Structure 1
Amino acid sequence: MHFTFTPILASGKPAITNVSSNFKVVIKIAFGFMLTMLFLNYNATAQTGTGTVKGTVKTADGKSAEFVNIVLTNTKFGATAGQSGHFTIKNVPAGTYTVVASFIGLQSQTKKITVSAGETTTVGFVLTEGAKDLQEVYVKSARHNKFLKKETEDVARLPLKNLENPQVYSVVTSELMKEQIVTSYADGFKNIPGTGVPLVYNNGRTTLLSRGFVTGNFIRNSVAGYNFNSIDPADIEKIEAIKGPTGTLFNSSLASFGGLFNRVTKQPNETPRTEIAYQTGSFDLNRLTADVNMPLNKDKTVLFRVNAALHNEHSFQDAGFNRGFFVAPSITYIINDRLSVDVDAEIGNSNATSAYRLAPDIKGKTYNVKDLGIDYKRSFGNNSVDYLSRQIDLYSLINYKISDHWKSQTMFNKTFSTTKGMVTAFTLVDSSKQIKRQATQEDYPYYITNVQQNFIGDFKIGQFRNRIVAGLEYYNQKSNNTNVTVSTPAISYLDPGAAYNSFTADKVSALVAAAAPKPGDYVQNNQSSYAAYVSDVFNITERLNAMASIRIDRFVNKGAYTPADGKTTGNFSQTAWSPKFGLVYQVVKDQLSLFGNYMNGFNNVSATSFDNTPFKPQYANQWEAGVKVDAWDHKISSTISYYDISVTNTTMDDPAHPGFSTQAGTQLSKGIEAELIANPFNGFNIVAGFAYNNSKITAAAPGTGLQGLRPANSGPARLANLWMSYRITHGKVQGLGFGVGGNYGSDSYQTNTAAFKFTIPSYTTVDATVFYDQPKFRIGFKLDNLTNEKYWSFRLAPQNPTRGTLSMSIKF
């Protein structure tokens, strides 16, 4: 389906034009179904022989519990507790029922009730926190601010609240992604300050921005989850964006100097629950997902959960598609009150075409992507030029309580990720208004092994509390890259004619077969790192605590081995230290804190110098200060900070020796970040962020033309995000909700040197949704990019025009 939106004009003319008849049908069905549900709910009061069930839900501390699901088992009747903890279920046929109250993070509770015709039955629940579930502070905040899930042990590897942590981080919850009908993992990052437009690589892998640095998605459940392909969001419980150089507690090979993104997967819990969802919409989207959770024994010591997805979608352009299957089973075995084992897997297969990738002509006279005149909807590709990908990600976690003050945490991850087929890239020839189309026939498997052993303590020395983590980590990454790159004759990108269809799999395969073999057609890579680290949070007073951390890494790169000639290049070994310090003072206990930190991160450099001299590790040093707020009983959560990151030993292209690199640069990245997650009144939620980043090359090798300029891959200097939604929590239309928001990015560069600059213009996108959420079902409709804004990624890939998605799910 395709449709185009234009804004509402002052004259009052309709804002929607050129909407396909198919999409009009979808809209009518969606809203017709929603109105039918509302009508049935409203008129149900006319039924006879029924009664009403009312009640309240509280937690063990006596506070009201919001969003708790109330279900009469084996019936269609249920409700969701409002912010005051009250719920009402009307028109329940007379009889005896079992009522279950459940919420993630709380122990489920079951009660028997009898409903009499024309009468009201009252029942109350008091729910307590489960032994395996999230921290108490999260449970409390989730009752009021449903998109707030800041309390996590992943960031510091310690039981440390957000207000106690001197590091800045953002968390995107599965609840927020569900409300926004996120069908693509990258779309979840719209809610993280400073991430920008996703950069999609030829095999579906995505990176985004963090503090002006390109940052990958290589970490899953706090260890390596190196997925070289696209990531399906079906198994995502939350996305954690940890800001700044994070080399102390995380593998530096998988993070950038701006931070890292940790995807946390859904884990089994004690409440039986199944949700099946279907999404359909623009560009032939058809997506089916399932989330099944159940205990496997009566004692609820063996818990099972599986998430699965079938996805099929075409591009808005004339060619391009993505078809995939994904399944993620997980088991938790609670052996006793000291020992538990989690085992899970992510298994995926997909068939897709490459993401659009375009390079400008650095000798040309066109300096802005809008001025090229390229048709936004032309892919310049062909659906036969595609690739297959496969992912198998195995993960296990063993938690053992050594004593009341110490626990052991052992994590193991094994990943196989591969791409096999054809990936593409395009280059412009500005003088002749032509485009060169290039294809690479590749077989590129990755093999990853990651093992971590942590010992975590929480104890007092005298009156001073210490929370400490000490650990060891081993990481190994191997790859065997087979690739042959060929090009087809250039064609006009303004008027390509019949030659437009000449880029096919058969022609690419013929060119690959005719290409002269080279030693670099098959390359083996093998690199490992061995690390030890320790981090301690020391409470000087009840309100003042200090963090001190250090890590040592031994990095061994065996280099790139080409069996054809028996040569190995780029092999080296390096040792690097990474310290971190932080201070936090809670001005108002558990509500307002001031913090500051110094953080150090490093990257091992594997580039090649002209004289084969090994490069030193790149180091980044960050100084940061700010304020964190968690006030009004968790209704307002905010972080505002200023950071300054300086990078030494920066590598760049060697102008004197093309194809080689030189290490003669330094870089500065500084700026302001602000985030707000709020629930100012019942049912109304806000997620907002702003990021300003000032990056520049402060020293560069002569002849590079980079001195004093902003690195092109730093993205827009200003980025903003906003999402506001309102959900009716009482009355006959309880569960009906609306949401609106958008994203802004200032202009940026695809290339930025003294000799040539190529600009990507600023953009503003607007999204909106309407939904009806009930205990037994949910229906929602989302419009992305309402104004049909044309905007591009760093690789000059045109982004989706207006897109509609209808989502329907059943829950039981």
Structure 2
Amino acid sequence: MKLFYSSLFLCLSLVTLCTEHSQAQSTGSISGSVKTSDGNAASFVNVSLKETRKATTTAEDGTYQLKGVSPGTYTIQVTFVGLRTQEKIVLVEAGRATTTDFSLSESAIQLTEVEVTGNNKAVTLGKATLAPLDLPQMSGVVSSVVIANQQASRLGDVLKNVSGVSLTQQRGGVAETFSARGYSIGIAGAGGSIFKNGVISNTMGFPEASTLESVEVLKGSSALLYGNVSGGLIINMVTKKPKFERGGEVSMRFGSFGLIKPIVDLYGPLAKNLAFRVVGTYETANSYRDVVKTNRVYVNPSLLYKLGQKTTILLQGDYLKSDLTPDNGIGSLNQNQDAIIPNVPRSRFINTPWAYNKVDQTSGSINIDHAFSNTWKLTAIASAQGTGVSAYGAGVPNNNVSATGDWTRTLSRTMTRENNATGQVNLNGRFSTGSIGHQVLVGSDLVGIVSQSTAYTVNYGVGKTSYDKINILNPGLYEARTDIPDATATTRTTSPSTRLGVYAQDLISLTDKIKVLAGIRWSQQRTVQTTILNMITQAETRGTAETKLDAAFSPKVALMYQPTRMTSFFGSYSNNFTINTGVDIYGQILKPSIVDQFEAGVKNELFNGRITANLGVYRIVNSNFAQMAPLKADGTANADANVKEFTGQTTSDGLEVDLTGNFSKNFFFITGYGYNYMRYTRTSLIKGSPIEGERLTNNPAHTANATIFYTFDLPQLRGLKLGASAFYTGNRFGGNNNTYGQTPEFSRLIPLAGFTTVDVSAGYTYRKVSILAKVSNLTNTLNYLIHDRYSIMPIPPRQFVTTLSYRF
């Protein structure tokens, strides 16, 4: 399969390179630039010929090019959501290039205000900044306008606006895990799928979403550009950038359970070629959960320097200090070994009252963009991030709470550190071979991750092996301890890993209607042998796991048919790979599993892009799912779960629908629906193997979202804003998947019913002052987010939040 698609890619390249040069002599071209009224580049604006279907979008520097235009007189049209359409008459001659520039009546700020309400902006996470209709996979963009209108603070609040994506777990109340297309997206690590400004990011302690410019999502496999990432989706958080116009906003947010959150956003020029921006927030709050408290500080400074006309240098940094109360939810009762959700108040807290989880995170990056010409650009990125976590509290109530609610608590003291470093170089260019256009991307990236984990022993007291006993159903039954025992650091384990990738991609415009996207990546991931430091003797030893080197090719090929410049049908094949642990029956380290994905869909931009309507279907098959081998190499029975073979399979089928509208900056709506069926489709009938046909946990069959906001322009109601949002998460399983021959033989699944939450908002703006209020979970719906079988977290009840802002 991989050889076939690689050969197809090479054949397509040869065909385009062999196109007769005479085609270029019989046609002409049109190129130019589009700028705003204040002289800034107008990126991602639609440029088309009124008499034909030829169309394109401007690049980031505002330039455009239309190739292969037959001689004649045409009307060239510039359009964008919310902009005044502009037209010019041009004469095209054979073998000659015609230059036509446009100046919009809107300023850069006005253009930004229009852009951020829409969903038709190119997803910058794709590295090649393809136009939405040229991207052969489903995607989503949640803008700062949506984030502000919904008064979202957490990444999970934002991603509810993307079809098929759901928040399925909250790990100990200090991190979020998402599900998409049957796959979980974790917080960090070598296989992390959450990025900030295009580089890998650790999201422990919750990233600050309220200060973001946007959140971008690429669904399905993105291994071509990012290597070992989830087959479900890629998430990119885009921070706010400096501006050369002075301005800013200060706001104060108040809410239920003592929420106080000031937010400051300041930007402007420091010199002719130098601009700054500083975004920051402080948050303090209690919770609907007893004892739980939050204290957070976040600061995001940035500088933008224009080094001449062709080069820009962007420096960005951020700092997060988070002090959260760790919270494993309400626990579960083990009745006949089944996990039962206890009937207790939503506020019931079962950790120790002194438990803490402290996160310190610092990151910095430099982006250098250099335009060699209007069609070729080089981007270089270097970044680093350090995340430290110090936590102490009760261990997880995992299968050790009795049917009557008794739980003997032990304590868990942890200290971890993760340092990430990324280097990335991308070359983007556009050229033609005859009448065939190319938009190419060639690049390489290197990611280094060093993780440190310190282990502790806890001194419970003379003769004691546990902390205390409580009853989660009746807290007054036993007297709980309140002291904080000493914990002694014993060992510190350091685990380095690196990811290296080289990739190339070409968007080939065979005709005005037919395009091909083809590319391939070679990835190498190196997991270095761990080192273990004895914190008492200071002696250092090597871990037992050997250094592991994994490599894989990740091809992608897609065919697009665009019958009009507003509609695109696409079909694609791509794959991604997952790293496996364990060895085969011959003692060799397991190779990565290759996961194949097939996707087809249609995208529409209607009414000049004011409405987008997209539909996609997919199948993701891991036919190399590693599971425990039934026999050893000598034919005897295997009882070692670390000895595996590639005989299993999982299959994920699904559908996603998006319908968004942006009739003006006063009115927008977002709707989406996702269906997924992720299950084991082939397994061994031996003890320890998953049950064939069983759905994987934490994957809702159905999800849906709908949001609408309207700001009145009528004289009597001018400045009044009304909005509403509804989010549905369907039936799913929490807990753990079952295995053949498991002990005990009771189901480990925790069935969860579907639920809907409804939020309503109202606000008013007078000149530079605005106030916005929201009631979330209006119906006070009760449901749960579950991690494994222990972190059973009730969703938040009905709450109130309001934000008072001043913009200058």
TM-score (norm 2): 0.78
1:780 aligns with 2:772: yes
The 1:689–1:802 alpha-carbon spacing in structure 2 relative to 1, beyond 3 Å, is same
* Contact kept in structure 2, 1:610 and 1:661, CA below 8 Å: yes
Query: CA 1:572/1:203 → structure 2, altered by over 3 Å: closer, same or farther?
Result: farther
1:237 aligns with 2:222: no
Aligned to 1:113: none
Cα deviation, 1:122-156, whole Å, max 9, x if unaligned, reads xxx963565xx99xxxx49x64x863133225243
**Offset, 1:554:** 1.4
Aligned equivalents of 1:233, 1:682: Cα separation in 2: 21
Taking the aligned partners of 2:219 and 2:375, their CA distance within structure 1 comes to 29
| 1:798 paired residue number | 794
Q: Is the 8 A contact 1:358 1:426 kept in 2?
A: no
Contact 2:330 2:348 in 1 (8 A): no
The alpha-carbon deviation at position 59 of structure 1 amounts to 7.2
Pairing partner for 2:723 from 739, 744, 755: 739
Q: Deviations over 1:260-294 (max 9, x none)?
A: 11111110122211101111111111101100011
> Which has the larger displacement, 279-288 or 678-687?
678-687
Change in 2 beyond 3 A, CA 1:470/1:734: same
Which residue of structure 2 lines up, in the alignment, with residue 303 of structure 1? 275
| Residue 281 to residue 685, structure 1, CA distance change in 2 (3 Å) | same
Is the counterpart of residue 279 in structure 1 residue 227 in structure 2?
A: no
Contact 1:375–1:494 under 8 Å retained in 2: no
Indicate whether 1:716 and 2:708 are aligned. no
- Greater mean alpha carbon deviation, residues 767-776 or residues 240-249: 767-776
State the 1:500 CA deviation.
Answer: 6.2
Contact persistence 1:597–1:624 (CA under 8 A): yes
1:768 and 2:760 aligned:
yes
Change in 2 beyond 3 A, CA 1:321/1:568: same
Q: How far did 1:355 drift? A: 3.4
Counting only pairs closer than 5 Å after superposition, residues 248-263 of structure 1 correspond to structure 2 as: 248-252=224-228, 255-263=229-237
Which residue, out of 391, 411, 431, partners 2:381? 411
> Is the contact between residue 752 and residue 758 of structure 1 (CA under 8 Å) also seen in structure 2?
no
Mapped to 2, the partners of 1:451 and 1:226 lie a distance apart of: 16
Alpha-carbon offset, residue 326 of structure 1: 0.7
What's the counterpart of residue 164 of structure 2? 194
Matched, 1:318 2:290: yes
Matches within 5 A, 1:303-702: 303-357=275-329, 360=332, 364=336, 366=338, 369=341, 372-422=342-392, 424-427=395-398, 428-484=400-456, 488-497=467-476, 499=478, 501-502=480-481, 504=482, 506-507=483-484, 509-510=485-486, 512-513=487-488, 521-564=491-534, 566-570=541-545, 571-589=547-565, 591-606=566-581, 613-651=588-626, 660=642, 662-664=644-646, 665-679=648-662, 683-701=666-684, 702=686
Partner of 1:12: none
Contact kept in structure 1, 2:451 and 2:495, CA below 8 Å: yes
Q: Are the equivalent residues in 1 in contact too, given 2:116–2:144 (CA < 8 A)?
A: no
Q: Post-superposition shift, 1:204?
A: 2.2
For 1:40-79, what aligned pairs fall within 5 Å after superposition? Answer: none
Deviations 1:180-208 (A, max 9, x none): 11122321112111222352223723221
| CA separation of 1:313 and 1:234: change in aligned 2, threshold 3 A | same
Aligned AA (1:692): Y
Query: 8 Å contact 1:227–1:391 — kept in the other structure?
Result: no
State the AA in 2 paired with 1:483. A
The residue type equivalent to 1:798 in the other structure is: P
Quickly say closer, same or farther: Cα 1:384–1:491, change in 2 above 3 A: closer
In structure 1, what is the Cα distance between the partners aligned to 2:479 and 2:162?
Answer: 39
1:292 aligns with 2:286: no
SS at match of 2:206: coil
Contact 2:560–2:570 at 8 Å: present in 1 too?
A: yes
Say whether the 8 Å CA contact 1:367–1:759 is kept in structure 2. Answer: no
What is the aligned partner in structure 2 of residue 727 from structure 1?
711
Aligned to 2:94: none
Distance 1:723 1:622, change over 3 A: same
Distance, in Å, in 1 between the alignment partners of 2:82 and 2:667 is 22
Residues 385 and 104 (structure 1), Cα distance of their counterparts in 2 relative to 1, 3 Å cut: farther
Gaps spanning 5+ residues in structure 1: where? 1-57, 66-102, 107-124
Distance 2:140 2:453 in 1: 35
**1:192 partner amino acid:** V
**Distance of 2:145 and 2:201 partners within structure 1:** 23
Q: Which residue of 1 aligns with 2:196?
A: 220
The CA distance in 2 between the partners of 1:210 and 1:588, in whole Å, is 31
Residue among 152, 161, 177 paired with 2:147 = 177
Contact map agreement 2:275 2:304 (CA 8 A) in 1: yes
1:11 maps to which residue?
Answer: none
For structure 2, the residue ranges without an aligned partner over 5 or more in a row are 1-34, 43-79, 84-102, 188-193, 459-465, 535-539, 631-637, 740-745
SS in 2 for 1:337: coil
Q: List per-residue Cα deviations over 1:156-197 (Å, max 9, x = no partner).
A: 322421011112111111100111111223211121112223
Question: CA shift at 1:366, angstroms?
Answer: 4.6
Residues 383 and 295 (structure 1 numbering): CA distance in 2 closer, same or farther, change over 3 Å? Answer: farther
Against the structure 1 CA distance between its residues 321 and 663, is the aligned structure 2 distance closer, same or farther, given a 3 Å change threshold?
farther
Decide whether aligned partners of structure 1 residues 700 and 345 sit closer, same or farther in structure 2, where only a CA change above 3 A counts: same
The superposition leaves residues 73-112 of structure 1 with CA deviations (integer Å, 9 ceiling, x where unpaired) of: xxxxxxxxxxxxxxxxxxxxxxxxxxxxxx9999xxxxxx
* Contact persistence 2:168–2:698 (CA under 8 A): no
Contact 1:203 1:228 in 2 (8 A): no
1:476-500, Cα deviation, whole Å (9 max, x unpaired): 0001100337653443221132636
Corresponding letter in the other structure for 2:310: R
Partners of 1:741 and 1:768 within 8 A in 2: yes
Question: Aligned residues: percent identity?
Answer: 22
CA displacement at 1:362 relative to structure 2: 6.8
Change (3 A) 1:566 1:303: same
Residue by residue over 1:599-635, the C-alpha shift from the partner in whole angstroms, topping out at 9 and shown as x without a partner, is 1111223467899642221221110111101101222
| Partner of residue 205 from structure 1, selected from 134, 158, 175 | 175
Higher percent of residues as helix: 1
Distance 1:104-1:480 versus aligned 2 partners, 3 A rule: farther
Secondary structure at the residue paired with 1:202? helix
* Residue-by-residue CA offset, 1:493-543 (whole Å, 9 max, x unaligned): 2113263642x4x34x34x45xxx87xx42110001211100110001122
- Paired with 1:620 and 1:362, the residues of 2 have a C-alpha distance of 36
| CA distance, structure 1, for counterparts of residue 752 and residue 197 of structure 2 | 35
- Following superposition, the deviation at residue 361 of structure 1 comes to 6.2
Are residues 315 and 649 of structure 1, via their aligned partners in 2, closer, same or farther at CA, if it must alter by over 3 Å?
A: farther
Could you say what secondary structure the match of 1:542 adopts? Answer: coil
The number of residue pairs the alignment matches comes to: 674
Note the C-alpha offset of 1:593: 1.2
Alpha-carbon separation, structure 2, partners of 1:647 and 1:314: 44
Instruction: Say whether the 8 Å CA contact 1:229–1:418 is kept in structure 2.
Output: no
